[in-house]
Chains A and B, each alone.
Chain A
Amino acid sequence: MPRLPRFEFDGEYIRRLVDEDPEIETHFTKYFGDLLSLKLRSKLRSPALVEDAKQETFVRVLTTLKKKGGLATPESLGAFVNSVANNVVFELYRSGSRVQALAEDHDEPDTREEGAETGLMVAEERHRVREALADLPQKEKDLLRWVFFEGRDKDEVCRELNVDRNYLRVLLHRAKNRFRDRYYSEEAH
């Protein structure tokens, strides 16, 4: 996930998107693709469904923009994409044939092992992510491992660290900032 070039979501951006400018199309699909993956993965359990929903959202957004020739308020493009995605998810929920409730005793596949992908991290980025994480202080690595890899109960983690839940978020915030610095530093090299 390289740092994306910054674009203003303004009339010019919308115009270039409608005109199928390759640079803007690439930015649009990458930027909102990542955000949609994050949003949809908590709502749809299957990666295939997440991908379907993303593509459906893109199609609807672009179709609407081309049909209308833009947005009345171009700076609300993000809100528009989000609302379209909500509609897509809602329709998927209503489609019993596509989204079936999982049985209570359903054993979710363990996705923690190396190689499990959830959408953001592609092969060439894994090395940089690994390097950036390796540079974190051991205490932060331990925290991330406990919470995200081992899936330990967060209250239990808090008890072990003798902190409250709010301070756990602060620790995560610090780890994230450090990770960001190292990750983009790796990118620069």
Chain B
Amino acid sequence: MTHTEAVANLASERYLLDEMTEAERDAFEAHYFDCVTCAEDVRVGALMQEGAKAGFTPALPTARVATFTPAARRTAAPPPEVVRQAWYRSAALPWAVAATLAVVVGYQSQSSVPGPEADGGVRAVPTLVLRPASRGTAPTVSLSAPHAALALDVDASGASDLAYDLKEQEGALITSGRGSAPPAGAPFLVVIPTFTLKPQQRYILSVRDASDSQRVLGDYHFTTAP
């Protein structure tokens, strides 16, 4: 095996992936013992492999997604949905950039929700990071997409389930529901059909421990775009 052949055939990667026949493996070993460039390539690859085998490439924390329909339309409490955020279709986004990116979540549409989103499947949903009211000004939710995903920075330690109420600032209840508490470090995601929201309104999403209604974990304020 020549160096050109080794590079062209991604021999180093095939070696790591254990995809070579015995003859190919012998030929590549004969080559990399003689080629400092390929030797270094194999050594680095093996080190990366060993790191991965040692568990140094953990998965992102799993986020909990709660979906809901408006109180007036709801026929049954929607179950919380656990989303395993595979990289090619979703991202549990770093907090600092989450507000500027779109997160794609598997969204199980409710049959009672009309509109083009009712066919279920995977959707790109604009995501907005919300922090408790005392920690910042109210961000603005765009109503241009069928859904808005709110990623709530919540400290849910000690709670197994969270309950939430979405109200207009004047106090009118839009909806309420509950979902499983996210693991430490992961956001609590609430996906809202935007048709339930009015433009240029201020809303408050209150989150509390579902088992202790007195334990309010945070009030999250947001406004809607014109």
Query: Is A176 a contact partner of B25 (Cβ separation < 8 A)?
Result: no
Specify which of A1, A81, A114, A115 is in contact with B43 (CB 8 Å cutoff): A1
Query: Is A173 a contact partner of B52 (Cβ separation < 8 A)?
Result: no
Q: Which residues of the other chain, B, contact A169 by a CB distance below 8 angstroms? A: 10, 13-14, 17, 19
CB closest chain-B residue, reference A162: B88
Main secondary structure of the interface of B (DSSP, over half): helix
Q: Which residues of the other chain, B, contact A99 by a CB distance below 8 angstroms? A: none
* Distance in Å: Cβ of A75 to nearest Cβ of chain B: 8
Q: List B residues 16-33 near A (Cβ within 8 Å).
A: 16-19, 25-26, 29-30, 32-33
Specify which of A78, A111, A116 is in contact with B33 (CB 8 Å cutoff): A78
Q: Which residues of the other chain, A, contact B43 by a CB distance below 8 angstroms? A: 1, 34-35, 38, 120
A29 at the interface (CB under 8 A from B): no
A86 to B25, CA, bound (A): 12
Query: Is B33 a contact partner of A173 (Cβ separation < 8 A)?
Result: no
B114 at the interface (CB under 8 A from A): no
Query: Is B57 a contact partner of A133 (Cβ separation < 8 A)?
Result: yes
A180 to B75, CA, bound (A): 55
Query: Is A138 a contact partner of B87 (Cβ separation < 8 A)?
Result: yes
Q: What interface size band does chain B fall in? A: 35 or more
Q: With A170-B10, A172-B13, A173-B13 as given contacts, are A76 and B34 in contact (CB-CB < 8 Å)?
A: yes
B44 at the interface (CB under 8 A from A): yes
Q: List B residues 23-69 near A (Cβ within 8 Å).
A: 25-26, 29-30, 32-36, 39, 41-60
Main secondary structure of the interface of A (DSSP, over half): helix
Q: Which residues of the other chain, A, contact B39 by a CB distance below 8 angstroms? A: 31, 35, 78
Q: With A38-B43, A161-B88 as given contacts, are A115 and B54 in contact (CB-CB < 8 Å)?
A: yes
B91 at the interface (CB under 8 A from A): yes
Chain A 59-97 interface mask (CB, 8 Å, partner B; 1/0): 000000000000000001011011000100000000000
Q: With A42-B25, A141-B58 as given contacts, are A148 and B87 in contact (CB-CB < 8 Å)?
A: no
Query: Is A133 a contact partner of B48 (Cβ separation < 8 A)?
Result: yes
Q: Which residues of the other chain, B, contact A180 by a CB distance below 8 angstroms? A: 44
User: Which residues of B line the A interface, CB within 8 A?
Assistant: 10, 12-14, 16-19, 25-26, 29-30, 32-36, 39, 41-60, 86-88, 91
21 pairs across A/B with beta carbons < 8 Å?
A1-B43, A1-B47, A34-B43, A35-B32, A38-B42, A42-B18, A78-B33, A78-B34, A81-B33, A111-B53, A116-B54, A120-B50, A129-B54, A141-B59, A148-B52, A160-B86, A168-B17, A170-B13, A176-B41, A183-B44, A183-B48
Beyond the given pairs A144-B51, A168-B17, 14 more chain A to chain B contacts, judged by CB atoms under 8 angstroms and listed by A's residue number, are A35-B39, A38-B42, A42-B25, A111-B53, A120-B46, A120-B47, A145-B52, A145-B57, A145-B59, A149-B57, A154-B17, A172-B45, A176-B41, A176-B44
